[in-house]
Amino acid sequence: MAEPMIVRVQSPDGVKRISVGKRETGAQFLKKIAMEFGLSNNEFSVYLNRNKTGEICAASNKPLSLFRIKHGDMLFLFLAGAPSTSTQYMQTSCVGGAVLGSAPTASAFVEDEIDQILNKQDGKIYRNRDAQLCRHGPKGKCVHCVPLEPFDEDYLNHLDPPVKHLSFHAYIRKLTGGADKGKFVALENISCKIKSGCEGHPPWPDGICTKCQPSAITLNRQKYRHVDNIMFENHTIADRFLNFWRQTGNQRIGFLYGRYTEHKDIPLGIRAEVAAIYEPPQIGTANSLELLEDPKAPIVHEIAEKLGLRKVGWIFTDLISEDTRKGTVKYIRNKDAHILSAEECITAGDFQNKHHNNCRLSPDGHFGSKFVTVLATGGPDNQVHFEGYQVSNQCMALVRDECLLPCRDAPELGYVKESTSEQYVPDVFYKDTDKFGNEITQLARPLPVEYLIIDITTTFPKDPVYTFVSSPHPFAVVNREVMGETQDFHSLSTYLSQNQSEFFLDIISDFHLLVFLVTNDVMPLRESMSLILDAVKTRNEEVAQTWKRSEQWATIEQLCGTVPSLPDSFADFGAVGGSVPTPPPADMWHCKHCTYVNPPIMDHCEMCSLPRT
């Protein structure tokens, strides 16, 4: 019996592999495609060529061999009524290493602006003529001064500090270099799932074959990274985030909003610039964190997009105070402990899977992720340090296909699941060294998560940058009710009284204030914020003044005017960066566990139910 062949079908939603027999008819083949893509037979057409020539008819009883379809060929699926444009699809170059065609020339997925900028650069490392070694004229070139490729290992190793990972675009240049100019390059995403469409045996767990079985994975330390540097625009952003831990002792999670820019310290490098931190609903204690569902997430995303920002990563704290008088913290993430726990790696992988990196060289239209992880923890000098990371593309695949678990008693170890009747899990290996110095291959049960981690330098600029104006009395941060900081018209009235400037743009340029104006329950301004968001984005005072004269802002001011003035003892409560808030009246008491303020008649905290003493 002839072996089945694999045919790839490209649709606007990506590529799928279809297993077909050589004697299968066109009608049978189209039925398989309909089942694979979840379509009915009259919703699509399949062609041999992207220009809609060589259609495979549903009524055709001819075997596929007469269409000259071979193992590994690419066909093109068009939805009924979809526009026929050459940019809808990407050509694919190989299947299992076999050459099938040319590299992608157009992408169905728009690459990020920074990728488009770097794609146009040659990436060469230009060097001046060496007066001692060069023996040629000013217009000549020799081995001592000829431009280097962006992936030149000697150059990267001699930088200060040395660069351990290629930038992603330097990695692409390495793949696409040489005589063929990357003609045969296709960045394949790893899959840990059984391939669909194989009909030669019963479904798992009763049967599996080498054609539908996912390949075993050997973990390698990734040689490139999608982001080469993380930079906070200024220290205020980080201090404002850390203030929650300073006042409560509880850990905190936030999402980083900013933009991707060129990192010129590394050839073809990418930097994630952080302009603001949004803190979603969460439950935090001194040693745990739990994210809650966030109904405001789509609106925050919309605000950021109109400000020219995007979610570039996440940040969390793991801080333990050492000496409150000196303001020092314990150094707990060291070589004797762990850098990131398996649970944190899984969370990072999940976030990265939700924020794909669009890539023209991938048959799926995406490859890896630019989403970064920042950990705020104690450093060797017992000061707060910000450490940047990503997890590898291999880790992303293990997390996406639900193959990786944390170990309960060893945070530095993960554990790859074993196959069950519900799920087939491929074997995962990593290479280690035994006590005699010999390299051995180990099954990833358990797995040191250091094989999955890529470190990224995290910095603050010498000259601070301010997308949002830094105020001595900033507006309250959302979801901080547990520490007495609330976003309401009381806090807005206080903020406006403390920040009186002739430049309205300076007053309104606070990310947390803009979120409140859009999402508050009394008078949400979602439909009328475009003008002021554009003013903040373009730093245009004239446009800001125009919005200030609007009916909406007049109503906001009226609402603030109706708010009764707060007692003097609470005037500065919640002002981040200022002095510690004045304590409540003597007959009230602070819960030492969650900091909630309780009336004197209570023996147990109303918030956390723990005893007063």
Q: What is the DSSP string of 519-531?
A: H-SSS--GGG-HH
Asked if residue 321 is part of any domain, the answer here is: yes
**Amino acid (1-letter code) at residue 464:** P
Domain span including residue 497: 481-562
Strands 428-433 and 217-219, by their bridges, are parallel
Q: What percent of the chain has pLDDT above 70? A: 86
Query: Is residue 501 located within the same domain as residue 546?
Result: yes
178 Cβ partners below 8 Å, 6+ apart? none
pLDDT of residue 59: 61
Burial of residue 541, with CB atoms counted within 10 A of its CB: 0-12 exposed, 13-18 middle, 19 or more buried? middle
Q: Which two tokens stand for residue 23?
A: 């004697």
Cα–Cα distance measured from residue 577 to residue 565, given in angstroms and rounded to the nearest whole number: 22
Q: What is the DSSP letter of 234?
A: -
Of 327, 413, 342, the closest CA to residue 378 belongs to 327
Query: Is residue 415 located within the same domain as residue 486?
Result: no
Query: Is residue 341 located within the same domain as residue 486?
Result: no
Asked whether 93 and 186 are in contact (CB, 8 A), the reply is yes
Number of domains in the chain: 3
Domain boundary (79, 95, 127) is at 79
Q: Specify the length of the chain in residues.
A: 613
Query: Is residue 286 located within the same domain as residue 401?
Result: yes
Cα–Cα distance measured from residue 555 to residue 79, given in angstroms and rounded to the nearest whole number: 49
Asked if residue 150 is part of any domain, the answer here is: no
Query: Is residue 496 located within the same domain as residue 454?
Result: no
**Amino acid (1-letter code) at residue 125:** I
Asked if residue 182 is part of any domain, the answer here is: no
Q: What CATH number is attached to the domain comprising 401?
A: 3.40.140.10
pLDDT in tens, 315-330: 999 999 998 888 899 9
Domain boundary (62, 79, 96) is at 79
pLDDT of residue 420: 92
Angle at which helix 541-548 crosses helix 530-538, to 10 degrees, equals 160
Q: How is the chain split among helix, strand and coil, in percent rounded to 5?
A: 25, 25, 50
Of 118, 240, 93, the closest CA to residue 171 belongs to 118
Cα–Cα distance measured from residue 498 to residue 492, given in angstroms and rounded to the nearest whole number: 10
Query: Is residue 404 located within the same domain as residue 527?
Result: no
Q: List, for the chain, all residue ranges whose pLDDT scores fall below the cut of 70.
A: 1-3, 22, 41, 58-60, 81-109, 178-184, 563-587, 591-596, 601, 606-610, 613
Cα–Cα distance measured from residue 459 to residue 134, given in angstroms and rounded to the nearest whole number: 37
Q: What is the DSSP letter of 48?
A: S
Asked if residue 105 is part of any domain, the answer here is: no
Q: Which two tokens stand for residue 69?
A: 């379809």
Strands 453-459 and 229-232, by their bridges, are parallel
Query: Is residue 237 located within the same domain as residue 368?
Result: yes
- DSSP 3-state of 109: coil
pLDDT of residue 81: 60
Asked if residue 86 is part of any domain, the answer here is: no
Asked whether 282 and 291 are in contact (CB, 8 A), the reply is yes
Cα–Cα distance measured from residue 533 to residue 526, given in angstroms and rounded to the nearest whole number: 11
**Amino acid (1-letter code) at residue 560:** C
Domain boundary (516, 537, 562) is at 562
Q: What CATH number is attached to the domain comprising 43?
A: 3.10.20.90
Query: Is residue 371 located within the same domain as residue 240?
Result: yes
Cα–Cα distance measured from residue 249 to residue 324, given in angstroms and rounded to the nearest whole number: 11
* Beta-carbon count within 10 A of 258 CB: 26
Q: Which two tokens stand for residue 373?
A: 């992880």
Asked whether 384 and 331 are in contact (CB, 8 A), the reply is no
Cα–Cα distance measured from residue 396 to residue 222, given in angstroms and rounded to the nearest whole number: 12
Phi and psi angles of residue 545, each rounded to the nearest 5 degrees, phi first: -65, -35
Query: Is residue 285 located within the same domain as residue 384?
Result: yes
Asked if residue 280 is part of any domain, the answer here is: yes
Sheet with 439-443, side-by-side order of all strands:
217-219, 428-433, 439-443
Query: Is residue 277 located within the same domain as residue 317?
Result: yes
Asked if residue 385 is part of any domain, the answer here is: yes
pLDDT of residue 446: 93
Asked if residue 425 is part of any domain, the answer here is: no
Query: Is residue 298 located within the same domain as residue 402?
Result: yes
Write the secondary structure of 163-217 as one string of H (helix), E (strand) and C (coil): CCCEEHHHHHHHHHCCCCCCCCCCCCCCCCCCCCCCCCCCCCCCCCCCCCCCCCE
Cα–Cα distance measured from residue 480 to residue 419, given in angstroms and rounded to the nearest whole number: 43
pLDDT of residue 95: 32
pLDDT in tens, 98-149: 333 333 434 346 899 999 999 999 889 888 888 888 888 887 888 888 888 9
Q: What is the DSSP letter of 108?
A: S
Query: Is residue 268 located within the same domain as residue 358?
Result: yes
